[in-house]
Structure 1
Amino acid sequence: MVRTDWIAPRRGQANVTQMHYARQGHITEEMHYVAQRENLPPELIRDEVARGRLIIPANINHPNLEPMAIGIATQCKVNANIGASPNSSSLQDEVEKLQLAVKYGADTVMDLSTGGGNLDEIRTAIIQASPVPIGTVPIYQAMESVHGNIETLTPDDFLHIIATQAQQGVDYMTIHAGILIEHLPLVRDRITGIVSRGGGILARWMLHHHEQNPLYTHFRDIIEICKRYDVSFSLGDSLRPGCLHDATDAAQLAELKTLGQLTRQAWEHDVQVMVEGPGHVPMDQIDDNVKKQMQECCEAPFYVLGPLVTDIAAGYDHISSAIGAALAGWSGAAMLCYVTPKEHLGLPNAEDVRSGLIAYKIAAHAADIARHRPGARDRDDAMSHARYTFDWNKQFELALDPERAKEYHDETLPADIYKTAEFCSMCGPKFCPMQTKMDADALSELEKFLAQETAAAL
């Protein structure tokens, strides 16, 4: 276990968060580990965590975790969603989905299980098998515990589920504490209303009881749980826009202001926070959305779903959303939640998970290049050299999805001899422009000729 020895001295302490240690000036083993992964000074990691601009989701009950960081100072990250439903999947299925997500580059994985088995057993198995941080949405299990009768849930029921998941080792939790009863009339003019499952559940609860959101009124109690296990908040955007028409409206911005208040309240107790962001936003509004979040939430890491930049790409929403994700990452979003081709249509299969993850790895990498992160383009330049020298095996190795790259090449040129051929099946052996070698001697002779031509013209 990577962290067993690191965690042992912390057990039993009242506050074991990475932010708590950072604000005491201490560089934890997790901070050292992250600094090495990111090729950054450990002191910078500590300072960013202390400031709240970087989080290291690392529950003390997740000892096999390989620590990673989410924040503007580090590489843009990608999350993948998995989860059992009442209609499909099992414990083994979910562990296999986790392994697939990690294989294709997920930096974190969210377990969004809503049924289909014992949720505590499924979650425990996922955590024990996962080297990456695991996130959850506790309200889903709360719903399952009352067989969908949300009106019967009490604040103590919510807190019990959150505490149970924290004890199991969940590293970060989506807590929908920002949607308030006074926000609900603001969705009246929307086309798609409330599209967040967690937000919809709490809206129903508030409408039924005519009481304030219990996650908001008991936010201090949730903070105490997070302090005890180092669970990071992922403050949920319950009123995120579900279509372009609803983007950046009064409801979304009212909740964002509340999320800023909750962020500062959590920071008062040294609890780590990231803030979740919108789902459907026109391209021209994305940069402004990121800047608004940074302003309202004091630069807490921004974790965005997409956003999708058009509403008519059914079956291809991984592409529509990856466009928005790249722009959001360029503007400063710290983590991107992947979208699969099945978004809005159905439950994704293994191939959908692969397609969604690779699309988002592309988006995150493009954002890092655009932000001029040191070394971000090294792999691209290496790929370019491999292409120019027709080193096909090196090209496969450097690709974000090496198996797919090799598969596509070998569809038409499968024999090993073609792994050293100076052409592909697109141009063939006679028309590849990169066979035109611009060597030093040829260019020198050309320059002499051009100089003579210029002199003659004068």
Structure 2
Amino acid sequence: MYSESYSSIDPLVIRFRTKNGWVKAGNGCRVLVMALVGSSSLLDYDTQIRKINALADLEKGPELVGDLSIVSPPDKRKPLWKYLVEETPFIASTLPVYMARDKTERIDPRRLLDVALEHIEGGVGMITIHPTPSREIVNMTSRRLTRWTSRGGGIIIRDLEARGWENENAYMQILNELAEAARKCGTIISLGASFRSANIFDSFDEAQQAEIREQLRLAEMLTKLGVGVVIESPGHARPADINKVAAILKKSGYPIMPLGPIPTDTAVGQDHISSSIGATLMGMAGAAHILAAVTREEHTGGVPTLNSTVEAVQTAKVAAHIIDLHLLTDDHDDYVIAQQRSDNRSCVIGKKGKGCARCGVVCPL
């Protein structure tokens, strides 16, 4: 159990406990990368385990891995989050609402709390919650092309609508108990972006701005309770809107996990590239501390393959390094490569001597 209150240290630099010590995220820290895995059916559990193991084999792998499973594992095998905690060096992250639905798709707040506590007490480093959906913000989305795209947020909204908006958001009903458990165990709470924009035309509208204000209010409250907080935002956003969101979030000082941002809707099948560009823009503006790696299948309807999951992490790692290069002047790795090229008189890493298949005898080096 982790007993030190975040109020006794810098509340805007969060700390994850790992098998190898502490990993920090926030202002002045290196940018982290989170890979995403998860079982959408009972048949792909083994595939997800292979993904996790492949990520563990990477020389420059992710620091966090999020379990987005919406089904329990078959037989008596470990849930992916538990496998991550017990069998890997990664910080595990979960979304409790995915496993808290009943057969009618309703959310019982006590069941939601039980799932969240199981994850927290089981060693998960971060949980994402969706406490922002309200009737007021939902009404603001009526003029959007796509009212919401968050899977977790959508579950909460459907539950609220089915109950006729008679009860408060399920997460708000259990927030104090959730915060107390997170404080005791040192688990970070990520405030999910239920109203992140699904396209560049809905970005930075009144609904998104209202949600960001609510995220900041909740972040301040949780920080006072001694809980480390991450804020998620913004989804799809054109470059100008990325800068607007980044300015607000940077001013808040809280660690930010951009969802994307994806700065164009035209990169279908290449969103690992577009999201890394958006994340770099947001990071250079000082508002990206954990990058959620987006795969090329993001808008294709396909399940990410092992290779594309690895590719997404490698692409996000490049973006993270560029942000660190800009904000922390962390150019050590760049200098090593530049020195190798200079010493070997070749731009091809590992090659000694002049010439290559591209330049041949006219190599300028």
TM value normalised by structure 1: 0.74
Aligned-residue offset at 1:226: 0.8
Aligned-residue offset at 1:420: 2.6
CA distance in 1, matches of 2:33, 2:79: 26
Query: Does the 8 Å contact 1:308/1:320 carry over to 2?
Result: yes
Matched residue, 2:10:
51
Q: Which amino acid aligns with 2:216?
A: G
CA distance in 2, matches of 1:128, 1:427: 50
Query: Does the 8 Å contact 2:33/2:293 carry over to 1?
Result: yes
Query: Does the 8 Å contact 2:94/2:127 carry over to 1?
Result: yes
CA distance in 2, matches of 1:289, 1:184: 20
Matched residue, 2:190:
234
Question: Which residue, 343, 347, 358 being the options, matches 1:426?
Answer: 358
Indicate whether 1:385 and 2:336 are aligned. Answer: no
Q: Which amino acid aligns with 1:362?
A: V
Aligned residues: 357
Matched residue, 1:288:
244
Matched residue, 1:192:
146
CA distance in 1, matches of 2:150, 2:217: 21
> SS at the partner of 2:264?
coil
Query: Does the 8 Å contact 2:84/2:91 carry over to 1?
Result: no
Query: Does the 8 Å contact 1:66/1:131 carry over to 2?
Result: no
CA distance in 1, matches of 2:21, 2:308: 26
Query: Does the 8 Å contact 2:129/2:190 carry over to 1?
Result: yes
Query: Does the 8 Å contact 2:81/2:92 carry over to 1?
Result: no
Aligned-residue offset at 1:65: 5.2
Shift in alpha-carbon separation, 1:121–1:299, aligned structure 2, 3 A: same
Aligned-residue offset at 1:100: 2.1
Query: Does the 8 Å contact 2:3/2:183 carry over to 1?
Result: yes
- Unmatched tracts of structure 2, length 5 or more: none
CA distance in 2, matches of 1:65, 1:56: 13
Shift in alpha-carbon separation, 1:394–1:57, aligned structure 2, 3 A: farther
CA distance in 1, matches of 2:213, 2:179: 19
Indicate whether 1:323 and 2:281 are aligned. Answer: no
Q: Which amino acid aligns with 1:19?
A: Y
Query: Does the 8 Å contact 1:81/1:109 carry over to 2?
Result: yes
Structure with greater Cα Rg: 1
Larger proportion of strand: 2
Aligned-residue offset at 1:17: 4.5
Matched residue, 2:172:
216
Aligned-residue offset at 1:394: 9.1
Aligned-residue offset at 1:387: 1.7
Aligned-residue offset at 1:280: 0.6
> SS at the partner of 2:79?
helix
Indicate whether 1:97 and 2:51 are aligned. Answer: yes
CA distance in 1, matches of 2:207, 2:334: 41
Query: Does the 8 Å contact 2:64/2:91 carry over to 1?
Result: yes
CA distance in 2, matches of 1:216, 1:172: 18
Q: Which amino acid aligns with 2:212?
A: L
Shift in alpha-carbon separation, 1:431–1:117, aligned structure 2, 3 A: same
Q: Which amino acid aligns with 2:44?
A: S
- Percent same amino acid at aligned positions? 27
Matched residue, 2:317:
361
Shift in alpha-carbon separation, 1:312–1:278, aligned structure 2, 3 A: same
Query: Does the 8 Å contact 1:199/1:238 carry over to 2?
Result: yes
Shift in alpha-carbon separation, 1:183–1:316, aligned structure 2, 3 A: same
CA distance in 2, matches of 1:259, 1:134: 22
Aligned-residue offset at 1:287: 2.1
> SS at the partner of 2:65?
strand
Aligned-residue offset at 1:116: 5.6
Question: Which residue, 257, 263, 266 being the options, matches 1:312?
Answer: 266
CA distance in 2, matches of 1:269, 1:86: 37
Shift in alpha-carbon separation, 1:361–1:18, aligned structure 2, 3 A: farther
Question: Which residue, 132, 150, 174 being the options, matches 2:90?
Answer: 132
Q: Deviations over 1:378-415 (max 9, x none)?
A: 2112211212333779935xxxxxxxxxxxxxxxxxxx
Q: Which amino acid aligns with 1:128?
A: E
Q: Which amino acid aligns with 2:30?
A: Q
Alignment of 1:235-274 (within 5 A): 235-274=191-230
Shift in alpha-carbon separation, 1:122–1:75, aligned structure 2, 3 A: closer
Indicate whether 1:299 and 2:253 are aligned. Answer: yes
CA distance in 2, matches of 1:85, 1:126: 17
TM value normalised by structure 2: 0.92
CA distance in 2, matches of 1:224, 1:214: 17
- Unmatched tracts of structure 1, length 5 or more: 1-10, 24-49, 397-418, 435-458
**Per chain length, whose mean CA-contact separation is higher, i.e. which structure has more relative contact order (CA < 8 Å, sep 6+)?**
2
CA distance in 2, matches of 1:325, 1:246: 18
Matched residue, 1:205:
159
* Runs of 4+ more than 6 Å apart: 391-394
Aligned-residue offset at 1:123: 2.4
